Amino acid sequence: MKYRRILLKISGEALAGPAGFGLDGSVLNRIAGEIKEVHEAGIQLGIVCGGGNFFRGMKAAVEQGMDRAMADYMGMLATVQNAVALQDYLERAGVITRVQSAIEMKEVAEPFIARRAQRHLEKGRVVIFAAGTGNPFFTTDTAAVLRAAQIDAEAIFKATDVDGVFDRDPQKFTDAVRYESLSYLQVLDRGLKVLDSTAVSLSMDNNIPIVVFNMEVPGNIRRVALGENVGTTVSNQAA
């Protein structure tokens, strides 16, 4: 395997499946199986789940006039639901898992402690990080990069529903061109939608490459972990 320790970022929408809302058991079961395969190959995994399948704080603030901070806290709670669901499927697949939450809720998850998370990883446990950064106005993309830096991950795997980063939306334009690699500055200068700009800048500051790939293709998590040319890699060097 190319990597020793990675941070996998899964959107909440990915867990919803075709319905687009809530949780799809078949999707969770498939994702758990792929994570188990990579874990058993010797890679240490941290995971961050989004919460968009239940609630998107920024969208609620814009469309419904909610207070942005309160809406973001609701979004953080949605990520906890996803983390607990993924933990259940992983545990049933035989993968020892811990959930750490940035918002304290002792009956549901451990509080986030970076050293404890690293120790879990060293002991062969998968750690799922919930509740974002614990602060409003930050996305789960930024939380993923922050946790990756805190656990000393070698890369961030950004799982999406497209085959990487394109020059335009591939779901709207059939002639969209996929980039094999980009630099952080190219992503920021061109306004490409990989992660939000705060997350990209934090990745650049900590020199953590981001691999954007299509998680709906079975086996892609393992392919990326093997270093195969899948998706788009964002790093300090462009093609």
Domain ranges across the chain: 5-235
Q: Are 109 and 100 in contact (CB under 8 A)?
A: yes
What residues pair up with 213 in beta bridges, in sequence order? 159
Query: 50 is written with which tokens?
Result: 């989004």
pLDDT at 139: 93
Residue type, 141: D
**Regions of the chain where pLDDT drops below 50:** none
Phi, psi values for residue 138, rounded to 5°: -120, 135
Q: Give the pLDDT score at 161.
A: 85
Residue 186 contacts residue 194 (beta carbons within 8 Å)? no
**What is the C-alpha to C-alpha distance for residues 213 and 226, in angstroms, rounded to an integer?**
13
pTM score of the predicted model: 0.94
Query: What pLDDT score does 223 carry?
Result: 93
d(CA 234, CA 133): 22
Q: What are phi and psi of 123, to 5 degrees?
A: -85, 5
What residue type is assigned to position 150 of the chain? Q
The enclosing H or E element of 148 equals helix 140-150
**Domain 5-235: CATH architecture, name and number where available:** 3-Layer(aba) Sandwich (3.40)
Q: How far apart are CA 119 and CA 151, in angstroms?
A: 9
| CA-closest candidate to residue 79, choices 34, 133, 29 | 133
Residue 197: predicted pLDDT: 93
Tokens of 165: 């980063």
